[in-house]
Amino acid sequence: MVTPPITPEAWQAIALTLELAALTTIILLIVATPLAWWLSQTRSRWRAPIGALVMLPLVLPPTVLGFYILVLLGPHGWIGQLTQALGLGVLSFSFTGLVIGSVIFSLPFAVQPIQYAFEAIGKRPLEVAVTLRARPLDAFFTVALPLARPGLITATVLSFAHTVGEFGVVLMIGGNIPGQTRVVSTQIFGHVEAMEYTQAHWLAAGMVVFSFVVLIALSLLKKRTDRVMP
């Protein structure tokens, strides 16, 4: 019997990966947009340490970050103790735990482009909105957000792509449980461990193509933005 190049288990991992990436991206946009706005506008002394904390996943090894998230979500961590007290059990080695870890791990890829977009707007458009009696919240939604659209799109693409390509963090937090926490990257790892190189090649090649398409899309987006922006 010939084994298909992509097994049913691999398709299941692909579906779970896309679900994880989509949910993580939505949460990141909700969290990162106000955070990026605050970082771009504030003069608080907390700006530098909070900005550094947001960017920390860029320099930490994924296994280090995954380990500490695992500890926090585990039965002895303060988040784990809280979820157990609420009757939710522990979130480590679960899809919810993967979402939490993915949001933390990909946070810089959402915050940074949005923050740069807000900073590029400058003060003038918002000052004009104020002179027209727009409230700060109205000015944010009607002026700042539309002008920051390229940054929001970049953040969306990068967050989704980065989540799809995660390995170290998801392996530490979720393990490799079929149908629950096994995503594409851990599925490839499992194929390699089992010496199933044909299946690993198909999935790995798909990841290469996906990454290439993301880079091309970002390049085209930048060119379009450069033409539109004065």
Rounded to two decimals, the pTM is 0.88
Q: In 3D, which of 146, 210, 197, 153 has the Cα closest to residue 17?
A: 210
Q: What are phi and psi of 43, to 5 degrees?
A: -120, 15
Within 83-198, strands assigned E span: none
**What is the C-alpha to C-alpha distance for residues 101 and 97, in angstroms, rounded to an integer?**
6
Q: Sketch out the chain's domains with CATH numbers.
A: 8-42+52-228 (1.10.3720.10)
User: How many helices and strands (H and E) does the chain possess?
Assistant: 12, 0
Q: Give the burial class of 29: count Cβ atoms within 10 A of its Cβ; 0-12 exposed, 13-18 middle, 19 or more buried.
A: middle
Specify the residue for token string 């690993």.
200
**What is the C-alpha to C-alpha distance for residues 148 and 116, in angstroms, rounded to an integer?**
9
**What is residue 227's predicted lDDT score, i.e. its pLDDT?**
58
Give the mean pLDDT per block of 10 residues along the chain (230 residues): 69 92 96 95 92 93 92 90 90 92 95 93 77 77 87 91 90 88 91 88 89 84 62
